[in-house]
Structure 1
Amino acid sequence: MPRTRGERGSAVVDFVLVSTILVPLFLGILQVGLFLYVRNTVTAAASEGAHYAAVLNRAPADGATRTEELINGVVADNLIDSVSGDATDIDGQPGVVVSVRAHMPPLGLWGPGISFTVQGHAVKETGE
């Protein structure tokens, strides 16, 4: 069916109206996926670093170093603010906690970034 003279150019308007809804929705989903990837990667590295430091004759600082090694090359260095390893008490047992402070910048040009902290815990091995 041929278009009438008054409908000429309506496809462009429809495209613009639909795009103003779909593009921000797509970018939001992309941002959430990127955040979850970075958070899960950093959490796994912190957990692995804590387990590494929990081995007999290793210090909590060794766990922080191991965590940094695991994060390097996977997550951009400018996203990680600090990595620390400390001795702690886990249900009455000596343990190690590795903490990582990081942030995610916004995908677009507006809005604040998201800061987050993750921790990995492990019970320290004893020589008994």
Structure 2
Amino acid sequence: MRHRREPGERGSAVVDFVLVLVVLVPVFLGILQVALVLLVRNTLASAASEGARYAATLDRGPDDGVARTRDQIDGAISGRFARDVSAHEATVDGAPGVEVTVRAVVPALGIGGPGIALEVTGHAVEEQPP
């Protein structure tokens, strides 16, 4: 037995679909944006830490840490996030060490527009000669 539709209900499924999409698409895009920002932030933090550890080895310096950090970022996500990388000697928990800082802007959904500014720092204690 088929259900007969009233003449006024014709096309109501399309309207319902559009109304649901109006709510779901922005929610989905918002979740996607948060995931993108977290991916970039975690990658930058990992690269900064790796660069600091590399610069803190006995035969390396802060410039080596900057180069290592840039290579890590370029290999993982994109070189455009590696434009503003700096390193300097610092005190880490009372010991001499190296600090690598990365600053980057993550655009909205990766396609441009207003961005979210990120700044992450990696620290490492310098190796001491035996």
1:45–1:110 Cα change, 3 Å: closer
2:67 maps to 65
Give 1:109 deviation, angstroms: 7.9
For residues 17 and 88 of structure 1, what CA distance do their matches in structure 2 show? Answer: 56
**Distance of aligned partners of 1:110 and 1:104 in 2 relative to their CA distance in 1, 3 Å threshold:** closer
Secondary structure in 1 aligned to 2:119? strand
Structure number with higher helix proportion: 2
Aligned-pair identity in percent equals 56
Q: TM-score, normalised by structure 2?
A: 0.91
Instruction: Report deviation, 1:74.
Output: 1.8
RMSD: 1.7
Q: Which residue of 1 aligns with 2:117?
A: 115
- Contact kept in structure 2, 1:81 and 1:103, CA below 8 Å: no
Q: Measure the CA separation in 2 of the matches of 1:115 and 1:16.
A: 34
Structure 2 stretches lacking a partner, 5+ long = none
AA in 2 matched with 1:91: D
Structure 1 runs (4+) deviating above 6 angstroms are 108-111
C-alpha contact 2:70 2:79 (8 A) present in aligned 1: no
Listed one character per residue, the Cα deviations across residues 53-104 of structure 1 (whole Å, up to 9, x for unaligned) are 1111211111111011111132222233401111001122100001000111
Aligned length: 128
Question: Who is 1:40 aligned against?
Answer: 42
The structure-2 alpha-carbon separation of the partners of 1:27 and 1:52, relative to structure 1 and needing over 3 Å to count, comes to: same
> After superposition, where does 1:66-85 map in structure 2 within 5 Å?
66-85=68-87
TM-score (norm 1): 0.92
Distance 1:124 1:109 in 2: 40
Q: Is the 8 A contact 1:104 1:115 kept in 2?
A: yes
